[in-house]
Structure 1
Amino acid sequence: MNIFETKKMRIRVYFAAVVGVLIFVGCKETRPVEKTSKSKKPNILFIMSDDHAYQAISAYGSKLVQTPNIDRLAKEGMLFTNASVTNSICAPSRATILTGKHTHINGKIDNLMPFDTTQVTFPQIFQKNGYQTAMFGKLHFGNNPKGVDDFMILPGQGFYINPDFNTSKGDTTITGYVTDIITDVTLNWLKEEREEEKPFMMMYLHKAPHRPWWPSPEKFKEFTKKEFPEPETLFDDYKNRGTAAKTAEMNLLTHMMYSHDSKIRPELVAKMGDKVTPKVEEFENGFYGPFGRANSEQKAKYDEVLDEINADFEKNWPSMTDEEKMRWKYQRYMQDYLACISSVDDNVGRVLDYLEESGLAENTIVVYTSDQGFYLGEHGWFDKRFIYDESFKTPLIVKWPNTIKPGSVENEMVQNLDFAPTFLEAAGIEVPSDMQGESLMPLLKGKDEKWNRDAVYYHYYEYPSVHMVKRHYGIVTKEYKLAHFYYDVDEWELYDRLKDPQELNNVYDDPDYSEIVTELKQKLVELRKKYKDSPELDQEYIDIYKEMKAEKDNDFW
């Protein structure tokens, strides 16, 4: 028995003995749901991008980029301002969305730990209840998703240029830009493969704007001519924060890579030698791995822009101050990141246009979200992982004609944990009792008085690992955020979300907040119990992680 089989056995025994988790394997115990008033079940189109920060959507007031097509959904539906994730990292977020359960329950606590494949996902339930199901784009774990009649999935992270795909008919490589291709396949399915007599549940999943942010050649040329406003906290010194913020490895200047991220050719970095400071460790083949997939025609278009970027770097970088270098890296980051988002928005528009033209829009619930938030230079960072807002909060926009009041804004605390039960209830399908999320139906129907959640629970596990964000769990309300960082530290942080929206001052030890600390700690204990998390389970996962890391020849390292 290998270490992963051992791990899965231990976790299942632990859940049964200590946590008492009920794993849904076709059990009949379900929660009652409000029956849909329509005789015709609604279609569901779930659109998710990877690492799309809410700060980069104009409907959320972005000063960085205009997203007119995503904004259409907000104008015609509901925009959530307090939507968040349970664990801000790609594969765990997706596992939570699919199962409606926290990651410590479905097993996918980080990008390395295997998903518990005995878990039932909501597409499986839709499929069993007469829906035609499909999934196109980035799943990020497993290449044979359950519960979908048709799929085309990027293996692993996937590539932006001429990507490979795993499909229900075999593996393939398609020439073109990944965002366009995923949309082409999605539209083809809607037009040619959809069975008109059945309702559909489709997952339309973009790779963009995940690192390393290769835009299409056209967007690359357009956005490198733009300059973007800097966040107020670009030069944050973390002086009123704990160890975790001070030791995280996601600073634009000292951790963002020259070749992999900023698109400086490796041979130029080598030629310039000691003139390239600070030194940053690069991923092996981090530049030519993605760029080398381009054909000669595509490379010619990219090279026109790459030549300009590299010439500017060679001429100016050696004489820049650290402050100027930070600003240069920020602009390069935003140019590529926002160019990728612009392509996502264009393609979302293509799909929305087809729904309107075909008449499908009237009976289709359209959801736009991301698998988590992302730092766009705030606190000097890129990436995610923290319970802090830019990482923890995620965009969520829902359009449902004749149910959601157009232009609605919802401020209640909701999570990606809630998606699965929401979709099921909207379709009139019984929600399995072991799903931990709450259906958003009261909020979508404007019946906020029936919503009684006042706090959400968060838990991040992937440490020590890339970006070195320490393990932590916490509770978040509209007013406060309390987090406990653990593993190799024992530190608490409290933020007043209303007085300190940028989360610059940890007031955990402030006597004026002592009663708040006591109250939130008690609520946190209650949430941990409610969601079947515990200190014992924390330690169990730490022990398993250490065993996995010690096993050098396994498939995950």
Structure 2
Amino acid sequence: MADDHASKAISCYGAGINDTPHLDRLAKEGMRFNHCYVNNSICTPSRAAILTGTHSHINLVRTLDAKLDNRLPNLAKQMRSGGYQTAMVGKWHLGEGKAHQPTGFDYWSVVPDQGEYWDAHFIEDDGMKQVDGYVTDIITDKCLNWIDSRDKKRPFFMMCHHKAPHRSWECDDKHRDLYKDPIKVPDNFTDDYKHRARAAKVAKMRVAEDLTYFDLGLVQPDGGKRIGEKMSDLWNVYDRKIPAPEDVSKMKLMDREDGTIFTFSTPEELAEFKYQRYMQRYLRTIQSIDDNVGRMLEYIDADPELRENTLVVYTSDQGFFLGEHGWFDKRFMYEESFQMPFLARFPSQIPPGTVNDDLVSNVDFAPTFLELAGVPIPSYMQGVSFLPLLQGEKVEKWQQVAYQRYWMHNDITHFAYAHYGCRDQRYKLIHWYNEPLDAEGARPADGDHKEWELFDCLEDPLELFNVYHEHKYKEVRARMTALLERKMMEIGDEVVHDCEESDEKVGDDRPTLLSRLWSGKRS
């Protein structure tokens, strides 16, 4: 599993922006899911859902600040009780310390917080250790070493969780020259949000306005507000957003690596520079993931019995915006953030080269893996096994609904509104039910902006036009509202009208100050 890996940045999904031959092998030799969705589009809650098979209001990991109680039952514990050897390596992000460290694993080695791209620290049962090198390679080394040293007579379950391609997008040296040709800018990059809920317009995750000098590998000049808005006081960091002035004639940016100076003629030229620079850095980190997936497959394929009897899955903890709607980051229920990649190869059971268009969720992962392993699925799990779909069966009464709820009400960095909603094969319904606190901890003064959005994903795949109030969608609106209500009742979720009481202020999911000091990198 990767962190923040958009489906469009895997070449078998057909966007044509990069080349991932080893990930493509999983699709060629197995199955690609086009409609796999996250229950809560942010790192920590998604990881908790995958591990427990439950939604955020059940496992109580609703925001980035939340921590998973390691006394709770989970997938690894159930697999181990069924005779499996279990291991977890890489990004954990579900809390640190004895009360929150991984449990249910025979072996675990995880990075603190977000982890570092270079010379990363790893927390293990006997303390913290630093390992020199590039983190994607190191995580794979640790995984392969454990798989090789396992008891060969018993089955195993390995969770290999990469840090990449999470912000700040620092690539391996060997990939620094990749993707220098211009990458196609998304058709909705200049979205003006006119036909949408207010939540889209106020969000602060725009490529043109909210990326920082550190994000793009640029030297940050000295100065105060004139050089850019401070990212946030919350994390005690000093990185600033790169301005997007109307007059760009005095704007000069310098590459941190080679000192190249960039100048601009128009605001549009500056915005596209930021986009290209962002995409280059993002895609280069993914190239190391692809390389290491290749290493993993090479090891497995060297043993015909292991190859035939091993399910290999590749996914991400959520999707990610690659300039769509002008954004980077995730959080929202719009498709690029909501949809996760899911590739699966299992030669003995999954037909090669198959594509599935049924709707599945990350909450469904745990019961699917358990059923495949022949281990009982606990009654507490809310997900549904989609093993029959993996095996190529046509399930007539499959649940064609995906549910998301984003709980971070007080996001003072991205100003992303809390919301919940569902989608079926064609339509998507979203309810935006709060406004985040401002930097002073107060609600905006211009009134209540709780809003609904309805998208026809067939007629409007770019999700530019909210048709919730259009008369011709009256029946669709009623049907989707009923579908949403049924799903919320089924999983036991309900609207919290007063959300100020349940969460503290939440900023960006960036490395803590301690992690930044460890890595020796300051903005």
- 1:181 corresponds in structure 2 to 138
Q: Kindly indicate whether residue 447 of structure 2 is the aligned counterpart of residue 520 of structure 1.
A: no
Residues 219 and 255 in structure 2, CA contact (< 8 A), matched pair in contact too: no
Residues 65 and 506 in structure 2, CA contact (< 8 A), matched pair in contact too: no
Match of 1:364 among 288, 306, 310: 310
- 1:22 corresponds in structure 2 to none
- 1:85 corresponds in structure 2 to 38
Residues 101 and 436 in structure 1, CA contact (< 8 A), matched pair in contact too: yes
Q: Kindly indicate whether residue 114 of structure 2 is the aligned counterpart of residue 161 of structure 1.
A: no
For residues 216-235 of structure 1, what are the structure 2 equivalents within 5 Å?
A: 216-220=172-176, 222-223=177-178, 225-235=180-190
Q: Distance in 2 between matches of 1:342 and 1:480?
A: 34
For residues 99-498 of structure 1, what are the structure 2 equivalents within 5 Å?
A: 99-143=52-96, 144-191=101-148, 193-220=149-176, 222-223=177-178, 225-258=180-213, 260-266=214-220, 269-270=221-222, 274=226, 276=227, 279=229, 281=231, 306-308=256-258, 310-313=259-262, 316=263, 319-359=264-304, 360-449=306-395, 451-465=397-411, 466-488=413-435, 489-498=449-458
- 2:245 corresponds in structure 1 to none
1:487-522, Cα deviation, whole Å (9 max, x unpaired): 233100000010000100000000000111111111
Distance 1:493 1:371, change over 3 A: same
The alpha carbon displacement at 1:434 in A equals 1.5
Distance 1:386 1:548, change over 3 A: closer
* Other structure's SS at 2:109 match: strand
TM-score scaled by length of structure 2: 0.87
1:470-503, Cα deviation, whole Å (9 max, x unpaired): 0100010011000100123310000001000010
Q: Distance in 2 between matches of 1:273 and 1:459?
A: 35
Q: Distance in 2 between matches of 1:137 and 1:399?
A: 22
TM-score scaled by length of structure 1: 0.82
Q: Distance in 2 between matches of 1:480 and 1:513?
A: 10
The alpha carbon displacement at 1:228 in A equals 1.3
Q: Distance in 2 between matches of 1:483 and 1:115?
A: 27
The alpha carbon displacement at 1:305 in A equals 7.1
* Other structure's SS at 1:80 match: strand
1:125-155, Cα deviation, whole Å (9 max, x unpaired): 1111111101111011134201000011000
* Other structure's SS at 1:367 match: strand
Q: Distance in 2 between matches of 1:383 and 1:480?
A: 23
> Any runs of at least 4 consecutive aligned residues in structure 1 with deviations exceeding 6 A, and if so which?
none
Residues 224 and 332 in structure 1, CA contact (< 8 A), matched pair in contact too: no
* Other structure's SS at 1:545 match: coil
For residues 24-43 of structure 1, what are the structure 2 equivalents within 5 Å?
A: none
The alpha carbon displacement at 1:223 in A equals 2.6
The alpha carbon displacement at 1:226 in A equals 3.4
* Other structure's SS at 1:527 match: helix
Distance 1:171 1:281, change over 3 A: closer
Residues 217 and 257 in structure 2, CA contact (< 8 A), matched pair in contact too: no
- 2:439 corresponds in structure 1 to none
2:483 maps to a residue whose letter is K
Residues 155 and 164 in structure 1, CA contact (< 8 A), matched pair in contact too: yes
The alpha carbon displacement at 1:184 in A equals 1.0
Residues 66 and 94 in structure 2, CA contact (< 8 A), matched pair in contact too: no
Q: Distance in 2 between matches of 1:181 and 1:287?
A: 28
Residues 2 and 162 in structure 2, CA contact (< 8 A), matched pair in contact too: yes
- 1:545 corresponds in structure 2 to 503
Percent same amino acid among aligned pairs? 43
Distance 1:286 1:50, change over 3 A: farther
Residues 231 and 238 in structure 2, CA contact (< 8 A), matched pair in contact too: no
* Other structure's SS at 1:350 match: helix
Q: Distance in 2 between matches of 1:437 and 1:59?
A: 27
2:418 maps to a residue whose letter is R
1:355-376, Cα deviation, whole Å (9 max, x unpaired): 0013321110000000000000
Q: Distance in 2 between matches of 1:453 and 1:161?
A: 43
The alpha carbon displacement at 1:461 in A equals 0.9
* Other structure's SS at 1:160 match: coil
The alpha carbon displacement at 1:548 in A equals 9.7
1:199-254, Cα deviation, whole Å (9 max, x unpaired): 0000011000000101112212x136332111111111111111000000100121
1:414-452, Cα deviation, whole Å (9 max, x unpaired): 000100000000001110112111101110122222552
Q: Distance in 1 between matches of 2:218 and 2:179?
A: 14
Q: Distance in 1 between matches of 2:325 and 2:396?
A: 37
- 1:504 corresponds in structure 2 to 464
Q: Kindly indicate whether residue 24 of structure 2 is the aligned counterpart of residue 71 of structure 1.
A: yes
Residues 254 and 280 in structure 1, CA contact (< 8 A), matched pair in contact too: no
Question: How many residue pairs are counted as aligned between the two chains?
Answer: 474
Provide structure 2 residue ranges, at least 5 long, that are not aligned to the other structure.
241-253, 436-448, 508-512, 514-523
Residues 63 and 408 in structure 2, CA contact (< 8 A), matched pair in contact too: yes
1:269-325, Cα deviation, whole Å (9 max, x unpaired): 227995x5x64537755679xxxxxxxxxxxxxxx97343x4223xx1xx4321111
Residues 410 and 506 in structure 2, CA contact (< 8 A), matched pair in contact too: no
